Amino acid sequence: MKELLSTKNIRQFFSYFGVGGVSALVEWGVFSILEYLFSVPYLLATILAFIVSTTTNWYLGRRFTFRDSKYQKKKTKEVLLVFLVSGIGLLFNLLLMYFFVEVVGMNTNIMKTLAKVLATGIVFIWNFLSRKLWIYSDV
């Protein structure tokens, strides 16, 4: 536990928070455009927004947060692991979206966007810890 709270790890967390913030804005923007402008069903819009934001998150995270990764020459493996971990996060995200929209009743356009923001915030912790403890454990 002490190692998780080291200065280096705290710095990485805040760097990932910034990267995650940009990626979240991309995700919410893509989700909103698909849902509002193109009337894409909210669960499909969630999946498509996830693909765009995960790609953004991988690129920015690699560039700013986990630069000294063991995957310097193994980008395909790294991308596959990131998408695997993020895919699990997507399942959490979809379950949360379904819960918020169908069970809680957040079913207007603005409430769906708020549900997306809430789901993203909850899944953020999973995404950071899985990357830090599994994918980039050497960084």
pLDDT in tens, 4-52: 567 877 888 899 889 989 998 999 899 999 999 999 998 899 899 989 9
- Pick from 65, 57, 122: nearest CA to 86: 57
| pLDDT the model gives residue 13 | 85
How would you write 71-133 as a 3-class SS string? Answer: CCCCHHHHHHHHHHHHHHHHHHHHHHHHHHHHHHCCCCHHHHHHHHHHHHHHHHHHHHHHHHH
Largest distance between two CA atoms of the chain: 48
- The CA-based dihedral angle spanning residues 62, 8, 24, 126, taken in that order and rounded to the nearest 10 degrees: 100
How far apart are alpha carbons 90 and 93 in whole angstroms? 5
Mean pLDDT of the chain: 88
Q: How does pLDDT run across 70-125, given as a tens digit for each residue?
A: 776 788 888 899 889 989 998 998 999 999 999 999 999 889 989 988 998 899 88
